[in-house]
Amino acid sequence: MIAIPDGVTMEVTDNTVTVKGPKGMVQKTFGQKGKVSLSGKELAIEGEKEYVNTALSLISSMFKGVTEGFRKELKIVYAHFPISIEMKGETILIKNFQGEKQPRQARLIGDTKLQVKGQNVTVTGTDKEAVGQTIANMRGATKINDRDARIFQDGIYIVG
């Protein structure tokens, strides 16, 4: 049993959990190996130990996301060619990476927000998985394949 924090509302339908709070909303569907149910102000999770522990962890992350939010700091690092980041709808354009003419592209996931100030990039959102996947998309887009990564260390790195 999990107690629902104050200021947070929760809804459960067919193993889909929706959590709403002051920062926004997060929705997640859990598998069919167990059951998630809501009774009053408490949430009950039934199933195997692994299912219960995973569901507990995900739901506590959902509570944290809608009350505090998730924030990650990134830094743009380059040696010769100044890299710039631009948003175009749901697409993140990474321009001038290693002097390339065409911008590299990464996808913004969910309701994640991206803020760029010089070489500092901030990724914020209510869904921990969406924030992490957005960062992974940006890092994957700036992966260097054809050169020695020990020498060419240009890219986007997590700093906090």
By DSSP bridging, strand 91-95 and strand 84-88 are: antiparallel
**DSSP assignment of 83-126:** -EEEEETTEEEEETGGG-SSPEEEEPPTT-EEEEETTEEEEEES
**Residue pLDDT, tens place only, 30-75:** 888 888 888 888 888 888 999 999 999 999 999 999 999 999 999 9
Cα–Cα distances in Å, from 25 out to 41, 63, 66, 115? 18, 10, 6, 20
Nearest-angstrom CA–CA distance, 133 and 92: 13
> Cβ of 119: how many Cβ atoms within 10 Å?
15
Q: How far apart are CA 40 and CA 42, in angstroms?
A: 6
pLDDT for 97-128, tens place per residue? 999 999 999 999 999 999 999 999 999 999 99
Report the predicted TM-score, pTM, of the whole model to 2 decimal places. Answer: 0.89
Element holding 141 (H helix, E strand): helix 128-141
Domains and CATH numbers, the chain: 2-67 (3.90.930.12), 70-158 (3.90.930.12)
The helix-helix angle for 49-67 and 128-141 (nearest 10°) equals 90
Contact (Cβ atoms closer than 8 angstroms) between residue 123 and residue 130: no
Average pLDDT, the chain: 92
Handedness of CA 112, 105, 157, 114 (dihedral sign): negative
Q: Encoding tokens for residue 149?
A: 């990564």
Write down the pLDDT at residue 97: 93
